[in-house]
Amino acid sequence: MGDVTLFVCGGGARAILSDATEAPGVPTVFMNSNSSSTISMVPEDMPGAYGDPFLAYSLTLDNSDEIRERLQGVRVVILFSILGGGSGIGMPLGISEIAHEMGCRVVSVIGLPMAFELERRKRAMAVLPQVLDYSDRVFILDMGSINRIYPDVKFIHILRMASRSIVFAVDNLAHMMEGPFFSTFPKKIYTFAYTNDLDPSKAVTRAMDSTMFETSPDFGKMIVLVSSGFGTAQTESIYYTIVSMTGIVPDIVKRDDREDTKVLVFLPVHGL
Q: What are phi and psi of 56, to 5 degrees?
A: -60, -40
Confidence at residue 153, expressed as pLDDT on a 0 to 100 scale: 66
Residue 51's pLDDT is 77
Sort 272 into a burial class: Cβ within 10 Å, 0-12 / 13-18 / 19+: middle
Question: What pTM value is reported for the model?
Answer: 0.92
* Closest to 150 (Cα-Cα) out of 223, 83, 206: 206
The pLDDT assigned to 68 comes to 96
The per-residue pLDDT string of the chain (272 residues; one tens digit each, 9 = 90 and over) reads 569 999 999 988 888 887 666 667 789 999 988 877 888 887 666 666 677 889 899 999 999 999 999 999 999 999 999 998 889 999 999 999 999 999 999 999 999 988 888 899 999 999 999 999 999 999 999 987 777 776 676 766 667 777 788 888 888 998 899 889 999 999 999 999 888 888 888 888 888 888 888 888 777 899 999 988 888 999 999 999 999 988 889 999 998 888 778 889 999 998 77
Q: How far apart are CA 209 and CA 267, in angstroms?
A: 11
- Tell me which architecture the domain covering 192-272 has in CATH: 2-Layer Sandwich (3.30)
Q: Name residue 6's amino acid.
A: L
What is the spatial distance between Cα 233 and Cα 245, in angstroms, rounded to a whole number? 18
Give ranges for CATH 3.30.1330.20 in the chain: 192-272
Task: Give all strands of the β-sheet with 223-226 in edge-to-edge order.
Answer: 28-31, 4-9, 76-82, 105-112, 137-142, 189-196, 262-268, 223-226, 251-254
pLDDT recorded at residue 127: 93
Mapped onto helix, strand or coil, the DSSP state of residue 15 is: helix
pLDDT at 225: 93
Distance of CA 125 to the CA centre of its chain: 17
Beta bridge partners of 225: 253, 264
Taking alpha carbons only, the member of 185, 158, 188 closest to residue 265 is: 185
Helices (H) and strands (E) in the chain, counts: 10, 9
SS3 8: strand
End-to-end, the C-alpha distance of the chain in Å comes to 31
Q: Which residues pair with 138 in a beta bridge?
A: 108, 189
Distance of CA 27 to the CA centre of its chain: 15
In contact, 94 and 62? CB cutoff 8 Å: no
Per-residue model confidence (pLDDT) at position 47:
64
The pLDDT assigned to 144 comes to 77
Q: Tell me 51's DSSP state.
A: T
pLDDT at 40: 82
- 3-class secondary structure per residue, 76-140: EEEEEEEECEHHHHHHHHHHHHHHHHCCCEEEEEEEECCCCCHHHHHHHHHHHHHHHHHCCEEEE
Residues forming CATH 3.40.50.1440 domain(s) in the chain: 4-185
pLDDT at residue 22, rounded to an integer? 67
The domain made up of 4-185 has a fold known as Rossmann fold (3.40.50)
